[in-house]
Amino acid sequence: MRYRSLLGISLLACALVPFTSCTSSPSLTSIVITPSTYTITLATSESGCGYYGGYWSYEATGYYTHPGHTAKTEDITDQVTWTSLAPIMVTISSTGVATPTGCATGTSQITASAPGFNGTIIGASTFTVQLPASSDVGRVTQLSIVPSQNQAVPFAVTGKTADGGTVDVTDHVTWSSSNPQAATIDENTGAVTMISAGKTTITAIYTNADGGMAMGTKALTVAP
């Protein structure tokens, strides 16, 4: 009897106060970015870089759920905050249009974020800029940043060439840190200085003889 009484009180409260949590809107629980991966092929020339293709507009779909409600989806492309992990290679507009920024090749993560259930909800996609398959043999097209044995210069860089080879380009890249409040890196030597607790993205850029560039990134967390 007590159970029935409590249930009746709960239902009555929902009826009398229609704008309580009983009728609250479904919460955003996930974001899916379309396409999940995208690749642009560079066409380099003496006058700069062009692109094969040219349509790289992202869409963001929000998924909403709530106890007692039917799950729903909604196009939230214009409501999310778009971010490029490597803006030196690709930027993205507030409406989800991604644009390569120069001649750099490599892979960046594109994210879309919005407030949702229990905090910020983030969806991600992979954006790749590459060279044509017919690129010159020996031309560096991709970079991988790996740990080194040197504490002062903690990263080494391996370049992948157009013909499938690898080469150590550690001493030939330009370094940068996306968050110098957490850590800085000497653009020439790669020496890292920890500043304060936080996260940053370390970027290495290699420039080929013809001016075309390859880029690699590495996440770095500075502990408290």
Tell me if 9 is assigned to some domain: no
Tell me if 8 is assigned to some domain: no
Question: Does one domain contain both 126 and 144?
Answer: no
pLDDT of residue 101: 81
Q: How far apart are CA 203 and CA 92, in angstroms?
A: 18
Output the domain CATH number for residue 63. 2.60.40.10
Give the pLDDT confidence of 199-213 residue by residue, as tens digits. 999 999 998 877 778
Q: Which of 130, 163, 190 is the last residue of a domain?
A: 130
Cis peptide before 35 (omega within 30 of 0): yes
Grade residue 93 by pLDDT with cuts at 50, 70 and 90: very high
Output the domain CATH number for residue 210. 2.60.40.1080
pLDDT of residue 153: 85
- What is the number of domains present in the chain? 2
User: Collapsing DSSP states into helix, strand and coil, what is residue 196?
Assistant: coil
Question: Does one domain contain both 98 and 188?
Answer: no
Tell me if 11 is assigned to some domain: no
Q: How far apart are CA 2 and CA 146, in angstroms?
A: 65
pLDDT of residue 141: 85
Question: Does one domain contain both 48 and 117?
Answer: yes
Domain that holds residue 194: 140-222
DSSP E strand boundaries for 104-172: 104-116, 119-130, 140-147, 155-161, 166-168
Provide the mean pLDDT of the chain: 81
Count how many Cα atoms sit within 13 Å of the Cα of residue 125 in the half-sphere of its side chain: 28
Nearest to 85 by CA among 182, 219, 222, 221: 219
Question: Does one domain contain both 29 and 117?
Answer: yes
Q: Which of 130, 157, 178 is the last residue of a domain?
A: 130
The answer on pLDDT for 134 being more than 70 is no
Give the pLDDT confidence of 51-67 residue by residue, as tens digits. 655 557 899 999 998 77
Grade residue 27 by pLDDT with cuts at 50, 70 and 90: confident
Question: Does one domain contain both 104 and 63?
Answer: yes
Question: Does one domain contain both 78 and 31?
Answer: yes
Question: Does one domain contain both 172 and 118?
Answer: no
Q: Which of 98, 130, 162 is the last residue of a domain?
A: 130
Q: Which of 42-51, 132-141, 182-191 has the lowest mean pLDDT?
A: 42-51
